[in-house]
Amino acid sequence: MAATAVNPADQASAPSTLRRVVAAGMIGTTIEWYDFFLYGSSAALVFNRLFFPKQEPLVGTLLAFATYALGFLARPLGGLVFGHFGDRIGRKRLLMMSLLLMGAATVLIGCLPTYGQVGVLAPLLLVLLRLAQGFAVGGEWGGAVLIVAEHGDAARRGFWASFPQAGVAGGSVLAAAVLAVMAGTVSDQAFLVWGWRVPFLLSAVLIAVGWWVRATVAESPAFAAIQAETEAIEKAPVLEAVRRRPGRLLIGAGLKFAENLSFYVLTVFSITYVTEVVGLSRRVILDAVLIGSAVQMFAIVGFGALSDRVGRRPVYAFGAFGLAAFALVFFRLLDLGTFAATAAATTAALVLHAAMYGPQAAFLSEMFPTRYRYSGISISYQATSILAGSLAPIISVALLKATHSATPVAIYVSAACVITGVTALIARETRGRTFEEIDAEA
């Protein structure tokens, strides 16, 4: 297919429009990832007792994390389906659909009966709703970052596209904050009986807000430009991405690998480690994750902006290799058993993670042309979710159970970060490239 020039894609939207688009991308991403992270935190805190109550603590946690992992199994499928239609009918429509699907699944989780009430039906329903969550979030990320990246200009794409990324940290902040409030205001028994449901049910209000905000933004200029020319719309954008850019799909997956794996060890497995092994209260680790995630929100935007100045590759490599080194001392700091050490370790690790996550949206967006960009970045982003994000807490708990030490977990994270760091160094620098140049190259 002949390349189609899409000059409008490289003309930045008016400042007021761009700010509204950025707000819509960030708010929606915050809400959807609040829903997704809420499940992970709850799996570490209560699901092992409510849905798998007949197992010993670490075995019950493994089973709870197994249902947590199923959400990641559904993410690649969600990425493929949403990517396909996002490249054919538009970014905005798919964003609205993912928001509704995620919200409905999360609210229904808050309404579920427990194992003690309906037996094996309870974990089965939990699995079904977790799959729906994974499918929805699989399509959310690509649309959210593209509707921002394709409204902005090439010179500041790293900065603007980092805001939806910061929304992911915002979702973690919101989930940790709500759980921390519940943990601090109700007794342990009340939290197990009904308190854990409140954060899930609150999602209904958040989804309504997100829908209203996203309904006010226009379709991205880049997609609107090719939509005006019917022949520029790919019939099978996913297949085109695989056929024409296999190397960049692999590079994208390599960039995502350690970023994905490390994040869920830092924010999900660490909850289990601190409460079950170190012996601190869930309030301590939830507050530590809350502080770390709040700092990370600003760090993500800062590193995104830095990548506009010095390049995507060096910023990304710094985060990967920095976290590879810090992972070896992370659990030693947690073992000190104090809130200060736990908060410091979590914050430092999440800031290094932000150096990867900040430039990521722009980096991946600049690897693919407009007509299959949604598909390309979704495949790259979600392909590693099974091997990295879904298995990270499970492998970590299994390593801990087998060795009674966190050292193998630290080595596991460090090795993954080295792989991603090397990938960043061999990747092609994309900073400053316009979408018109990228489309013409294709």
246-258: pLDDT as tens digits = 999 999 999 999 9
284: containing domain: 9-441
Query: Who wins on pLDDT, 159 or 140?
Result: 159
CB–CB of 223/382 below 8 Å?
no
Domain count, the chain: 1
**Residues recorded for the chain:** 442
Residue 410 pLDDT > 90: yes
Please state, in angstroms and rounded to a whole number, the distance separating the CA atoms of residues 425 and 254: 11
Residue 387: closest CA among 9, 49, 72, 54: 72
Residue 309 pLDDT > 70: yes
Residue 116 in any domain: the answer is yes
- pLDDT value of residue 353: 97
Residue 11 pLDDT > 80: no
Residue 4 in any domain: the answer is no
- pLDDT value of residue 385: 76
For residue 79, what is the domain's CATH number?
1.20.1250.20
Query: What average pLDDT does range 85-95 have in this prediction?
Result: 88
Residue 1 in any domain: the answer is no
Query: What average pLDDT does range 394-402 have in this prediction?
Result: 91
Query: What average pLDDT does range 99-118 have in this prediction?
Result: 90
Residue 251 in any domain: the answer is yes
Query: Who wins on pLDDT, 215 or 364?
Result: 364
412-428: pLDDT as tens digits = 999 999 999 999 999 99
186-241: pLDDT as tens digits = 887 888 888 889 988 988 888 888 888 888 888 888 888 877 776 668 889 999 99
Residue 321 pLDDT > 50: yes
> pTM of the predicted model, to two decimals?
0.84
- pLDDT value of residue 234: 81
End-to-end CA separation in angstroms for the chain = 9
